[in-house]
Amino acid sequence: MSDPLLRIDDVTLAFGGLVANRDVSIDVAAGEILGLIGPNGAGKSTLFNLISGVYRPSRGRILFEGADITALPAAERCRRGIARTFQVPRSFDSMNVVENVVVGALARHATAATARRAALETLDRVGLTHRAGAVAGELTPPEKRRLEVARALATGPRLLLLDEVLTGLTPGEAQAGVALIREVAASGITVIMVEHVMEVVMPLVDRAVVLHLGAVLAQGAPAAVVRDDAVITAYLGERHRAA
């Protein structure tokens, strides 16, 4: 892959004696939907924290659009075009829905008026226009996940990190979520998604990377990854092999 949008180059993160990510190297192409999968504790969310600037690696570097962003704070990475959601949705619960999205839009827009217009457009994009005036704390869990996606999209990202946005949804809600992710990718935004719902994520992603014990266990086409013996042993289990 030449000139990737994101390059994670031999990245290690250690907390004292605990190594959360070890020698991770991944290239992500512009326009790609990449699935990041693996068992609980594999280091997936930690890697998201490294990409978004919550943590800095103990070793290695991270490049975005060819520039080394390893030492940049999270706010600067957001301004450069990296946005994310969180495994546990985080909203400003005393503010209404549109105000929550305005917070994201202000990263890209200079005035409150233009940020509000962008926020309303983004709410329409994710199907939350009818809840624009609702207090965020009153949203259902699926609506809160969509609100997080809306706030991230309002920052105008080139790269969107989605942390388990389809987890815990009904089949109909998951189908709507898949459609939204496909629309986001079709608009030119690169997506990396952490997900455990394999039957949903594998048909959606262009490529899958499996983390295990903080390191890359396998990566490649989804159909090949789910047939990899090491992935079955470490993550999918013997029932998957039999199926």
The pLDDT tens digits of the residues spanning 39-89 come to 999 999 999 999 999 999 999 999 999 999 999 999 999 999 999 999 888
Final residue of a domain: which of 104, 129, 156?
Answer: 156
Domain that holds residue 59: 1-81+158-243
Instruction: Tell me the two tokens of residue 224.
Output: 């090949």
Does pTM surpass 0.85?
yes
Do 149 and 198 reside in the same domain of the chain? no
Do 68 and 27 reside in the same domain of the chain? yes
Do 120 and 199 reside in the same domain of the chain? no
Do 69 and 178 reside in the same domain of the chain? yes
Beta strand 82-84 with 6-15: parallel, antiparallel or unpaired?
Answer: unpaired
Do 169 and 240 reside in the same domain of the chain? yes
Residue 86 lies in a domain: no
Do 68 and 174 reside in the same domain of the chain? yes
Residue 107 lies in a domain: yes
Is the CA virtual torsion 181, 37, 7, 104 positive or negative?
Answer: positive
Do 50 and 170 reside in the same domain of the chain? yes
Cβ-contact 37, 228 below 8 angstroms: no
What's residue 6's pLDDT? 98
